Amino acid sequence: MPDQITDPSDLRGDCAQCFGLCCVALPFARSADFALNKPAGKPCPNLQGDHRCGIHADLRQKGFSGCTVYDCFGAGQKVSRITFGGQDWRTGSKEDARRMFDVFPVVRQLHELLWYLTEALGLPAARPVHPELRKALERTERLTRGTPGELAALDVAAHRQEVNVLLLRTSELARAGAGGKGKGKGKDRRGADLIGARLKGADLRGASLRGACLIAADLTGADLRGADLIGADLRDTDLTDADLTGAFFLTQPQVNAARGSAGTRLPESVGRPVHWTAGG
């Protein structure tokens, strides 16, 4: 792993470099996404001694679809290899293990911010705020390299707030450049309740869908080019044949949680989930 994050590939989970932190540190509530209840800090019963998942190939069939959606943005390997210097929670002290589990969600939030900031710096329309974005990226990177004590004491919500101001400005600049004259173009749908909404074929070019709740919405064939999707809840959203080219602040967990097809056009920053084309 390089000293400085410069490559978006460092902002994706690398389970081979992690001590299975997401399978231990996070709490699960029994639901359609997880087949059991598990408190934070307790290993999932499916986690093997080598930190691999014992049911990896059958997660969806066995009721653990939430695990196929999750991504730590590279926080797992950072905490395992850098913050705790390769000390496995299984062999270290209980106190170290507890601190590791406390710090992991903090670093995950910081890495998510790194993802957005890296993407923002790749948007030509956001050039006027690139200097501030670069500073925010450097500061966030520095924070991820804090000691366990520093990370545990960090007011991550306040840092998110600061970065969010910049991301909002970035969004305005980027969406102003999104083409199209349709009804939905540029529309501000921030935080909108669009659960189950019928938006088939909708023109949402350059729309702000920040934090919008689109659970089970029908966006088949919709045009979402240049839309801001930060924090949008896309669980079970149907993106079949939708066009998300140039959509930004879209993360892999969001895409993984949605439905789609081979005809869905995605931004280059995210991959096509296997279950979209594997009948899952």
Given a contact cutoff of 8 angstroms between Cβ atoms, the answer to whether 203 and 223 are in contact is yes
Is residue 125 a contact residue for ligand SF4 (CB under 6 A)? no
Residue 87 in the binding site for ligand SF4 (CB under 6 A): no
Number of neighbours of residue 280 by Cβ within 10 angstroms: 13
Interaction between residue 67 and ligand SF4 (CB under 6 A): yes
Binding segment for ligand SF4 (CB under 6 A), chosen from 5-13, 44-52, 86-94, 101-109, is: 44-52
Q: Is 40 in the site for ligand SF4 (CB under 6 A)?
A: no
Contact 235, 217 (CB under 8 A): no
* Cβ burial 233-244 (10 Å sphere, 16+ → b, else e): bbbebbbbbbbb
Integer Cα distance of 52 and 146 in angstroms: 27
Q: Which of 55, 97, 120, 230 binds ligand SF4 (CB under 6 A)?
A: 55
Cβ distance to ligand SF4 smaller for residue 72 or 126:
72
Residues 6 or more apart whose CB falls under 8 angstroms from that of 27 comprise: 38, 39, 40
Least distance in angstroms from the C-beta of 19 to ligand SF4? 12
Q: Give the separation between CA 27 and CA 48, rounded to whole angstroms.
A: 18
Count Cβ neighbours within 10 Å for each residue of 142-152 and write b for 16 or more, e otherwise.
Answer: ebbbbebeebe
Among 8, 33, 42, 47, binds ligand SF4 (CB under 6 A): 47
Q: Is 224 one of the binding residues for ligand SF4 (CB under 6 A)?
A: no
CA–chain centroid gap for 118, Å, is 13
Q: Which segment (3-11, 42-50, 162-170, 189-197) binds ligand SF4 by CB under 6 A? A: 42-50
Q: Does 15 bind ligand SF4 (CB under 6 A)?
A: no
Q: Does residue 25 touch ligand SF4 according to CB under 6 A?
A: no
Site for ligand SF4, rule CB under 6 A: 23, 44, 46-47, 53, 55, 64, 67
